[in-house]
Amino acid sequence: MREQLQNLVDRLAAYNAATVVMDWDTSTGSAPEEAGEYTAKLLGILAGEAFALSTCDETVSLLKDCMAEPSDDEIEQAVVKRLWEDYEKTHAIPQREYQEFHELTSKGMRVWEKAKGTKDFSLFAPTLGKLIEKAKKIKGYQPKKDGLTLYDLMLDEYEKGFTTAELDRFFDGLKKELMPLVKAISEKQDEVRTDFLNRPCDVESQKAFNRLLAEYLGFDLKRGVIAESEHPFTTSLHNHDVRITSHYDENMVASAIFSTIHETGHALFEQNNSDEITMTPLSGGSCAVHESQSRMFENMIGRSEAFWEPLYPKFKEVFKGQFDDVSMEEFVRGINAAAPSLIRTESDELTYCFHIMIRYELEKMMFDGEVSVDELPKLWNQKYQEYLGVEQEDDGEGILQDVHWSGAMFGYFPSYALGNAIAAQLYHAMDKNVDVEKALRSGDLSPIRAYLREHIHQYGTMRETKKLLKDATGEEFNPDYYIQYLKAKYSKLYRL
Amino acid sequence: MREQLQNLVDRLAAYNAATVVMDWDTSTGSAPEEAGEYTAKLLGILAGEAFALSTCDETVSLLKDCMAEPSDDEIEQAVVKRLWEDYEKTHAIPQREYQEFHELTSKGMRVWEKAKGTKDFSLFAPTLGKLIEKAKKIKGYQPKKDGLTLYDLMLDEYEKGFTTAELDRFFDGLKKELMPLVKAISEKQDEVRTDFLNRPCDVESQKAFNRLLAEYLGFDLKRGVIAESEHPFTTSLHNHDVRITSHYDENMVASAIFSTIHETGHALFEQNNSDEITMTPLSGGSCAVHESQSRMFENMIGRSEAFWEPLYPKFKEVFKGQFDDVSMEEFVRGINAAAPSLIRTESDELTYCFHIMIRYELEKMMFDGEVSVDELPKLWNQKYQEYLGVEQEDDGEGILQDVHWSGAMFGYFPSYALGNAIAAQLYHAMDKNVDVEKALRSGDLSPIRAYLREHIHQYGTMRETKKLLKDATGEEFNPDYYIQYLKAKYSKLYRL
């Protein structure tokens, strides 16, 4: 990369890393309780610095020069394109406004935590209202695009190229094909035994097993760490510092396991970013593709019998006799059980997309001004009853369950559902090249990692999702693989 | 503060906080093993950013405006003065040079850690050589001052107003007055029993007791945290986020205790900085005054019988019977025992200043070019034999024992000795206003904290050390209090 551009990229990477570490420090309980407000201010200032750098005259003129005389280097081209797009999206936002927005999101998280702790949405509602208004205002500075709503622009922020028109079609398809399956399964709850998954498993043993699991999947612990937080997440400074968290509950052994597999899926993406793109704006991965990796590992790989064949004896050993009466077949059936429920992160593979659909429908309404903040819990409850037939007891297990809105990440949820669909499409393509089941049964996942590294991980966000998917699978985005996968799996499991 | 100045101060505070958190993250083991090199680069970039901001045209013109039309506000005046001094010291340093220097110090720490781990100075020597050269080069950009050497300028960096001329007098006085005492005590080692201090005390109980101790001293754990690191230290983002570390050894219960008291002394200073100066360049405290607080708490307060009177029963209780045969009098005599030894941080109050003196003499020689890096271990050993009559077994307990040089903190050590002297002078003044012994025996240390807050802590570095000391004690810096205190205490303890 030309020197001036490298210098800009380095400086942006440093701001990003500072923010990542300060967020990590807060989220994993390293920071003291009362530091939050002060530290939020400092984070807001850092965000303002990065913003000022991305939009200053010198940067604009550098990017224009780079575009006038483009490099042959694919990476440099992609970096320039990304930085220019970011500039176009943000330069009209007054710096103070941008900084205030970041302070608000930082504060939002603390307010949400308190509200969640007391299960009281009314504590969070005023802040949520402000977050929506501020997010709309910030988006309003962006150049309008023909036929796109504010919420389309929000979606575009997280997954380029997917609009409400496309998502409406996608979710309508899921609704049509999967709602009958959800209903049929609700009526056959006795088919699959899951009681043993609530047997007490001491947290220290859980930690040991989860660490083993992450390493088994290929998470390099010399270039990564595992910690604890309320809500599991993955973050990274660069491909040599990738961090995941889990959350342990003595009576929910599977919860931490599938969180760890999920986050390790993300972490493998980050650790396998090429050295050329790490610490550049191309590092990481787009939201949906990132989620395709975490969900592929969590569900398509992590809940398969082939995966557990080499691991189940170790699992039984770690939990000293607690599962001696449970055969591997029963265990695998148990971890795949489906039942409509309230909590997205604990929900099964089949009903998961309905949780996303509800958020998506609410967000659209919030952005179109069709619903006020105060009406949200009621609407939330109505939709959970309609799609899943379940009712919340309090806001904690309802509208407060997820952290995302507290950080103004409106438009993010749909990428979770897209990620599942992309995972199924990628798995299908991978399986034509790598005998996935054989690799899993042998206990050596390296062919799987090599495939994903070659086709996905190394590129970070260098290629847009639709192109990346086409390059890897030879096909356009096609949610049918996802629908067919779920139908086949659950019809068999519940003998429908 | 006028708005533009406040904005500058805020931005500098944000850079500082980012660096503090990233350093904390590395030092407390939150970051993965192989992240170091990459993260060092990012820290270097952040240092470069702060440097560029401190020295850019806009900042210079703002500071000139502030000086041309000075504010009535003492804090604004002091901030402007400090920023201008920093500018004068640093603006001639090319930004790339400054950044490389910071990368080198970040790398230095990792190299030192490895060298210390293998007790092999030769691993660290080349990096130390580079650090010295780079530190000299950086200092060379600073305006010369009449009659001051490069090392004088290094000293000035950490403690304004104290030169080698003054320090030579100070150390000569200590040598003359205290060496006979050290010698006399070496010959009376049977006088004080210390064996019980090496009884095994499980680390979890130690952690519990140290936490209790920090809180007892007044460390506010809602605005602070305690963690672990190889070398105990204190750091802070602002007065609502102050962090200390300790290091536990099962067979050295007193080691963690006095580390914790020491670091809490620092932490009280940081937590009691006024809200007006926190997150400004006036926060914290000068090195020597900071050290006066840690050493006053560690030694003058923490090793007194009055201090232990309310605490000793709790101590015995936490370590379940391990000290039932040790009376409080014996315990207090034990923790005050003096014996020439190799490790500064484990050394007693009496011999401590000789460790500093040795570093000081070596640093002077290093900066005057009188000694090469390779000769340091030999010279180190000679001086330890001469002043303390002890001989090292390896570099780990010799020249590699302290982290400071790995961060190019040459000129820092003398402030440790000055801190002890200042502590004695301050204690003497405080004792005229507050009945210190009575407060300690009562178990309520709030009058002590209130005195220190009023006279020292609130000001941070707003007032220069010599002025602060004069304001608090009514006297110029006077090391006699320190010498007299040590003579009286140790003559009594060893019945000389």
The whole-number pLDDT of residue B98 equals 82
CB of B316 less than 8 A from some CB of A = no
Query: Do residues A162 and A421 make contact, with C-beta atoms less than 8 angstroms apart?
Result: no
Beta carbons of B366 and B374 less than 8 angstroms apart? no
B338 and B376 part of one domain: yes
Read off the pLDDT of each residue in B398-424 and give the average, rounded to a whole number: 95
Mapped onto helix, strand or coil, the DSSP state of residue B147 is coil
The verdict on residue A149 lying in a domain is: no
- Structure confidence at residue B496 (pLDDT): 87
Q: Are residues A116 and A185 in the same domain?
A: no
Which ipTM score applies to this complex?
A: 0.86
Residue A141: helix, strand or coil by DSSP? coil
Interface contact B240-A32, CB threshold 8 A: yes
Cβ–Cβ contact B279 with A under 8 A: yes
Contact B192, B337 (CB under 8 A): yes
Q: Is B20 on the interface with A (CB under 8 A)?
A: no
B97, with CB counted inside 10 A (0-12, 13-18, 19+), is middle
Q: Which residues of A are identified as catalytic?
A: 263
- Tell me the average pLDDT across B475-482: 96
Q: How many CA atoms lie within 13 A of A171 on its CB side?
A: 23
Return the pLDDT at A419. 97
* CA atoms within a 13 Å half-sphere pointing along the CA-CB vector of B47: 24
DSSP A232-296: --EEEEETTEEEEEE---TT-HHHHHHHHHHHHHHHHHHHTS-TTTTTSTT-S--HHHHHHHHHI
Does one domain contain both A105 and A184? Answer: no
- B37 pLDDT exceeds 90? no
Is a pLDDT exceeding 90 seen at residue B143?
no
Percent over 70 (pLDDT), chain B: 100
For residue A189, the model assigns a pLDDT of: 86
Q: Are residues B208 and B269 in the same domain?
A: yes
Q: Is residue A157 part of a domain?
A: no
B153 inside domain: no
DSSP letters spanning B308-320: HHHHHHHHHHHTT
Question: Do A238 and A338 reside in the same domain of the chain?
Answer: yes
Residue A415 lies in a domain: yes
Total domains present in chain A: 2
Domain residues for the domain of B23 are: 3-142
CA distance B494 to B193: 11
pLDDT of residue A36: 86
Instruction: Report the alpha-carbon distance of residue A174 to residue B127 in Å, rounded.
Output: 61
Distance CA A109, CA A93 (A): 23
Same domain assignment for residues B138 and B169? no
Locus of tokens 């999206």: A89
User: Of residues B324 and B147, which shows the higher confidence score?
Assistant: B324
Chain A residue with the nearest C-alpha to that of B26: A21
Tell which residue, A313, A312, A302, has the closest CA to residue A336.
Answer: A302
- For residue B445, what pLDDT is reported? 98
Q: Does B152 fall in a domain? A: no
Quick: pLDDT tens for B113-126.
999 999 999 999 99
CB atoms < 10 A from the CB of A124, how many? 24
pLDDT one-digit tens code per residue, B54-83:
999 999 999 999 999 999 999 999 999 999
Are both B215 and B291 inside the same structural domain? yes
Is residue A421 one of the residues assigned to a domain?
yes
Residue B151 lies in a domain: no
- Shared domain for A130 and A177, answered yes or no, is no
pLDDT for A396 equals: 92
**B439 Ramachandran zone, left/alpha/beta (phi>0; psi -120 to 50):** alpha
Among chain A residues, the shortest Cα distance to B46 is held by: A14
**What span, in angstroms and rounded, lies between the C-alpha atoms of A135 and A155?**
12
pLDDT score at A179: 93
pLDDT tens track for B348-360: 999 999 999 999 9
CA angle B311, B315, B316 (to 5 degrees): 120
Look up residue A159 and give its DSSP letter: S
Q: How far apart (Å, rounded) are the C-alpha atoms in residues A474 and A483?
A: 19
- Laid out side by side, the sheet with A241-246 consists of A224-228, A241-246, A234-238
Model confidence at B226, pLDDT cuts 50, 70, 90, reads very high
CA distance A162 to A167: 7
Best CA proximity match to A233, nearest among A438, A24, A479, A92: A24
Torsion, CA B82, CA B84, CA B90, CA B96, rounded to 10: 110
Q: Are A177 and A118 found together in one domain? A: no
Residues of chain A with pLDDT under 50: none
Residue B435's CATH number? 1.10.1370.30
Residue A230: the pLDDT is 83
Which CA distances in Å does B215 have to A493, B221, B267?
Answer: 57, 7, 11
What is the Cα–Cα distance from B269 to B296, expressed in whole angstroms? 12
Express each pLDDT in B373-410 by its tens digit: 999 999 999 999 999 999 999 999 999 999 899 999 99
Q: Answer yes or no: do B38 and A279 touch at CB < 8 A.
A: yes
How far from each other are the two terminal CA atoms of chain A, in whole angstroms? 57
Chain B residues touching A241 at Cβ < 8 A: 31-32, 35, 38-39
What pLDDT shows up at residue A88? 92
Residues A442 and A482 in one domain: yes
What's the mean pLDDT when you consider all of chain B?
95
Question: Are A28 and A228 within 8 A, CB to CB?
Answer: yes
Please tell me whether residues A327 and A231 are part of one structural domain: yes
Nearest residue, CB atoms, A32 vs list B10, B21, B223: B223
Q: Quick one: pLDDT at residue A102?
A: 83
Digit-coded pLDDT (tens) for B257-301: 999 999 999 999 999 999 999 999 999 999 999 999 999 999 999
Residues B137 and B175 in one domain: no
B154 within a domain of the structure (yes/no): no
Q: Is A481 helix (H, G, I), strand (E, B) or coil?
A: helix
